[in-house]
Amino acid sequence: MKPLVQVEGLRVVARNDAGVEFPIVKGVDFAINQGEVLALIGESGSGKTTIALSLMGYARNGCRIAGGSVRIGDKQVLELDDAGLSGLRGRTVAYIAQSAASSFNPSRTLMDQVVESAAIHRTLSRAKAEAKAVELFRALALPDPEHIGARYPHQVSGGQLQRVMAAMAFITDPALVILDEPTTALDVTTQIEVLRAFRNVVRQLGTTAVYVSHDLAVVAQMADRIVVLRDGEIRENGETAQVLEAPAHDYTRCLLAAAEPVERDIAIAAPAPQRMPVPLLQIRGLCAGYGAIGRDGLPAKRILTDIDLTIERGATVGVIGESGSGKTTLARVVAGMVPSARGQVLLDDAPLPDGSHGRTREQHQRVQFVFQNADTALNPAHSIGAILARPLSFYLHLRGDARRKRVLQLLDLVKLPASIADRLPGELSGGQKQRINLARALAAGPDLILCDEITSALDTVVAAAILDLMAELRRELKVSYMFISHDINTVRAICDEIVVLYAGQKVESRPRAALGDAPFHPYTHLLVSSVPKLEMGWLDTVCARGAAHLPTLAPLPAASDAALCGFLPRCGVRIDGLCNRLPPPRQQLPNGGEILCHHTPAALIPLQAPLQRFEEVA
């Protein structure tokens, strides 16, 4: 049988600032059979999105398809004129972009936008298109499928929007669907729902799809074939099982290794975090938020509620939670960028003043903040040398040669060549920028470094190198880290203690040694079991375990003001009459951790039995 899609010798070139063209896709061949899901996998810059877009005959601004052929069905895509391409896009080939939030028009309802391509291509009448959209919403497991179309994009969550976008792509029954990193921007607990919905729809409709991703574990759940790309060339092309279990190419093996959670050697060379009488940082009963301060002394929009946290000298505490859980705000309060409303932050038993104005330069120096996004955290108008020199002269009053020497030492410390000092941030790669970001914090000679999702924007291989570097710096310089992440594998790699935030509450803390041991707080359990694993069929196993129906709650006579459990609306083991009535108590776990839950640890263990699967890998 002839494959549905045949790509031969595809070449794409890009033009740089000087007007010189250079190749970014260098002669790529592959084929996709009817009903097959093909994954394009590689690091950023490997050309995976460029190849996916060229299937629609499209090249991004500054790029040009220079040669080769793309055949879909009986159409030669690259030979089509503009009218032909308009007929192809959205009708024969549909595209689901990475960020649904920026792909929707905020001023039109979801239904208007979903049926738009059916109207443009005149495949269905409006009424029929709407009926079909509702069917798709149902198939994608969207809540209230009959009425969700009347909402506007800001009225649904990120994961739901991503599924609505899939409905938009499927409405014209396209021959080929391109999914470009559709779950990368989502939290793991949301990602699993979206993946499940996508896979069910793809199976039901027998769609042919191209799945672009950097995440092997996600691809293992979705794809029939995997194409591994690097620098615009195909390194390996094979069945999913073969690529995962018997990779033929070194680069594939390297990717597989980086995707496995690695525990960095943190405890051996480093002196175990010393139990000094006074811990380095203590947070007591912290509440913080944004907006006007109300009569009760709390801000209008409360982000953090009653947080207690201790960081010992030389220890690394990981803070995990989904977006919006308040983990960045916590670090910003410690750094003095956000004022606290209640509670105390103590550094060596001395309270840190609220906000940045009351702090002394020495207090600033001892707590350094590393921003998530190195692209914006480095001033594009300053050279790397100047960026690193500033904290040296600001805190340590270094001048002239001594400062220059220290800058070079710092560059050496983060394993960058000295020649980089004269460059501007715009000339560096993402991983290099993140190293500079880290080096700037180290320049101050701090006791505590607050790391806000510093590996999230990086490729797996680069992120692994940054984590190695952090573990090494910790051994050499004996700094403490507060390491914030949404990725449990990253946190597990380098942290001594793990703290889980949900909706601004600290729901759990536990030492790293006991990370895989039940009992968990129900949210942590959901989080841990949602992390995709590098094995085929994992998604089916998890789905079989199933999203059990949530226990129903009786409506309360009057919602009491007490701080109820923040996880209540999503909790699978909630108890009517208890969880929705009383604030949860803090319970000590046998392994040294604690959870914020009504269930006793002993009662939770049998509920979380499937988690033994997690243990095997950990």
Partner 1 sequence: MSSSALASFPFFRAVAGAWSTMSPAALLGMAIVVFWLIVTLAGPSLSPHDASAIVDPDVFGPISWQFPLGTDYLGRDMLSRILYGARYTVALALAATVLASATGTLLGLYAAVAGGWFDASLCRALDALISIPSKMFALMMVASFGSSVPLLIITAALGFMPGAYRIARALAVNVQALDFVQAAKARGEGMAYIGCVEILPNMIRPVLADFGLRFVFTVLLLSGLSFLSLGVQPPDADWGSLVRENIGGLSEGAPAVLMPALAIASLTIGVNLLIDNLRGKRKDAR
Q: Is 370 helix (H, G, I), strand (E, B) or coil?
A: strand
DSSP 41-69: E--TTSSHHHHHHHTTT---TTEEEEEEE
Of 95-103, 284-292, 362-370, 484-492, the window that binds partner 1 (rule: CB under 8 A) is 362-370
Does position 63 bind partner 1 by CB under 8 A?
Answer: no
Total interface residues for partner 1 by CB under 8 A: 27
Binding residues for partner 1 restricted to 9-48, rule: CB under 8 A:
17
Q: Closer CB to partner 1, residue 316 or residue 372?
A: 372
Judged by CB under 8 A, which of 30, 198, 369, 614 binds partner 1?
369
Please state, in angstroms and rounded to a whole number, the distance separating the CA atoms of residues 543 and 203. Answer: 15
Does position 423 bind partner 1 by CB under 8 A?
Answer: no
Phi, psi torsion values for 92, nearest 5 degrees: -90, -40
Does position 356 bind partner 1 by CB under 8 A?
Answer: yes
Which residues neighbour 137 within 8 Å (Cβ) at sequence distance 6 or greater? 145, 148, 149, 163, 164, 167
Please state, in angstroms and rounded to a whole number, the distance separating the CA atoms of residues 402 and 394. Answer: 14
Least gap, CB of 337 to partner 1 (angstroms): 6
Does position 394 bind partner 1 by CB under 8 A?
Answer: yes
Binding residues for partner 1 restricted to 504-563, rule: CB under 8 A:
none
Q: Closer CB to partner 1, residue 440 or residue 521?
A: 440
For the chain, how big is the Rg over CA atoms in Å?
Answer: 26
Least gap, CB of 335 to partner 1 (angstroms): 5
Least gap, CB of 15 to partner 1 (angstroms): 12
Q: Closer CB to partner 1, residue 366 or residue 510?
A: 366
Binding residues for partner 1 restricted to 439-478, rule: CB under 8 A:
440, 444
In this structure, what is the dihedral angle of CA atoms 48, 371, 512, 333, given to the nearest 10 degrees?
Answer: -140
Please state, in angstroms and rounded to a whole number, the distance separating the CA atoms of residues 154 and 150. Answer: 12
Of 41-49, 148-156, 330-338, 472-480, the window that binds partner 1 (rule: CB under 8 A) is 330-338
Q: Closer CB to partner 1, residue 130 or residue 453?
A: 453
Q: Closer CB to partner 1, residue 361 or residue 549?
A: 361
DSSP 410-421: HHHHTT--GGGG
Judged by CB under 8 A, which of 154, 275, 295, 361 binds partner 1?
361
**In contact, 440 and 392? CB cutoff 8 Å:** no
Does position 337 bind partner 1 by CB under 8 A?
Answer: yes
Write out 432-474 in H/E/C secondary structure.
HHHHHHHHHHHHCCCCEEEEECCCCCCCHHHHHHHHHHHHHHH
Could you tell me which residues are beta bridge partners of residue 178? 95, 210
Of 25-33, 289-297, 369-377, 416-424, the window that binds partner 1 (rule: CB under 8 A) is 369-377
Of 145-153, 176-184, 367-375, 504-512, the window that binds partner 1 (rule: CB under 8 A) is 367-375
Least gap, CB of 382 to partner 1 (angstroms): 8
Closest by CA position to 542, among listed 228, 295, 188: 188
Phi, psi torsion values for 332, nearest 5 degrees: -70, -30
Q: Is 215 helix (H, G, I), strand (E, B) or coil?
A: coil
Q: Closer CB to partner 1, residue 424 or residue 514?
A: 424
Of 128-136, 380-388, 553-561, 600-608, the window that binds partner 1 (rule: CB under 8 A) is 380-388
Binding residues (CB under 8 A) for partner 1: these are 17, 61, 335-337, 356, 359, 361, 364-365, 368-369, 371-373, 376-382, 390-391, 394, 440, 444
